[in-house]
Amino acid sequence: MPSLKALRTRINSVKSTQKITSAMKMVAASKLRRAQAQAEASRPYAERMERMLGALAASVAGSPAAPKLLVGTGREQIHLLIAVTADRGLAGAFNASIGRATRTLTRRLEAEGKTVKLLAVGRKGRDFLNRELSSRMIGDVSYAGKRRIAFTDAEDLALRVTAMIEAGEVDVVTLVYNQFRSVMSQIVTEQQLVPAPIPEGAGAADALDGATYDFEPDEETILSRLLPQNLAIQLYRALLESSAGFFASQMTAMDSATRNAGDMIKRLTLNYNRARQANITRELIEIISGAEAL
Amino acid sequence: MPVALEIVSPEKLLLSRPVDMVVIPASEGDMGVLEGHTPMIVMLRGGPIDIYTGEQISERLFVAGGFAEITQERCTVLANEAIPVAQLSRAEGQRRLAEAEAAYAAADTSDPTIEDTLLDRIQSARAMTEVAEG
């Protein structure tokens, strides 16, 4: 049986841990709201971009001059995986599941004889991949210390990817990130960015009752500008989803940590009271038997 | 007979309302959009978007480039940024111009795509300075 003093110290330390976890939970909850709002605000642009891209792609598809970002380099040999994680931990399995998914995908691609290159976004992912798959790493990006992710951050990343595609360094680009489904569930998603998946239905023609768009300047020029922009917005969307997912995951993790700490405090307090009462009883017995002996 | 005008940036929906007419800075010259315009997808250069109520310009916004989708009943502008002209500053325009020119001088201009992008940046910064001056 631990001494009363030892129990008291433990109760106090668990209590302060609980204070920290519950504060972190509150902070994560408020950051989550902000991140979610930001993710929602980016949606209109992405939707309209998709509509335009659909209209354009439909009219360029099949032409030999189609840009590489749309149709790829024509090979499937070198895969670039972009793993999006957070910069911080204490968020349950959030970062680990991305790491694991990336590792599985890398192993699978390599088993098929492909070459894999890795780009890590976020400190946690970088650390994990450096440990496990360091020979495939070609770089990392971190947004640590930024209050919010700006579109220009995604643009820079998109420029880097575009340069690699144009130089023929990579053939296929896949993004691995946590999709924000709800506060309770973030789903690890693998999304192919290049060659760009053509939006379903390329529905512009329906919206116009069969009429087609005129382009100014020509389709190819517009497309050569629109595609990098589309890549940037896709990356931006993934970064925002991932950041909302991170806070959701952190909130859930901290919530259960707070609850566990509560349970522990209850158990320790019970032990403490038992020990205290046992002490009192023992002292009483000592006094009574002392008095009887006289 | 209004046109449903939408101006969207990646970070938010900036404006969405019916307007009488809008003039957008298309890459090959300004374009007035009224209801029933033929469907088009155009690239934008840096310049002002003029929103007309009746015969008058009721609002002016500066866009630094982007794309626009025009159909019979709507006009959607995808811009990286759109700033109300009243909030533009000449100093900011000049700072950007200097930056863009420095980037152009430093860059490898043998690649036509890079050259085009940088030239567009310079044009957009120039337009910003001009619009700011009124």
Residue at A208 is within a domain: yes
- Whether A272 has its CB under 8 Å from any CB of chain B: the answer is no
Residue at A141 is within a domain: yes
Q: How many contacts, defined by CB atoms under 8 Å, are there between A and B?
A: 79
- Whether B74 has its CB under 8 Å from any CB of chain A: the answer is no
Does residue B2 have a cis peptide bond before it, meaning omega lies within 30 degrees of 0? Answer: no
When mean pLDDT is compared across A34-38, A183-187, A221-225, A246-250, the lowest value belongs to: A221-225
Write down the number of H helices and E strands in chain A.
8, 6
Tokens found for residue A116: 């894999």
Give the start-to-end residue ranges of the domains of chain B. 3-85, 89-131
**Is B10–A233 a contact, with Cβ atoms under 8 angstroms apart?**
yes
- Whether B40 has its CB under 8 Å from any CB of chain A: the answer is yes
**Cβ-Cβ contacts under 8 Å for A201 (sequence gap 6 or more):** A54
Select the residue of A52, A154, A221 nearest B69 (Cβ to Cβ).
A52
Q: Provide the b/e sequence for A62-95 (b: ≥16 CB within 10 Å).
A: eeeebbbbbbbbeeeebbbbbbbbbbebbbbebb
Residue at A136 is within a domain: yes
Domain region containing A134: 42-250
Helices (H), A94-133: 94-111, 123-132
Integer Cα distance of B7 and A291 in angstroms: 93
Selected for mutation to probe chain B from A40, A45, A226 (highest B CB count within 10 Å) is: A45
- A258 touches A22 (CB < 8 A): yes
- Whether A213 has its CB under 8 Å from any CB of chain B: the answer is yes
Integer Cα distance of A32 and A178 in angstroms: 14
Total structural domains within chain A: 1
Gap from A249 CA to chain B (nearest CA, Å): 24
Which among A143, A164, A144 is positioned nearest to A154, based on CA atoms?
Answer: A143
- Range A153-181 average pLDDT: 89
- Whether B42 has its CB under 8 Å from any CB of chain A: the answer is yes
Tokens found for residue A111: 């088993």
The architecture that CATH gives domain B3-85 is Sandwich (2.60)
Chain segment A210-240, per-residue pLDDT in tens: 557 888 888 778 888 888 888 999 899 999 9
Select the residue of B8, B41, B69 nearest A45 (Cβ to Cβ).
B8
Amino acid residing at A13: S
Chain segment B14-23, per-residue pLDDT in tens: 889 999 999 9
Output the domain CATH number for residue A154: 3.40.1380.10
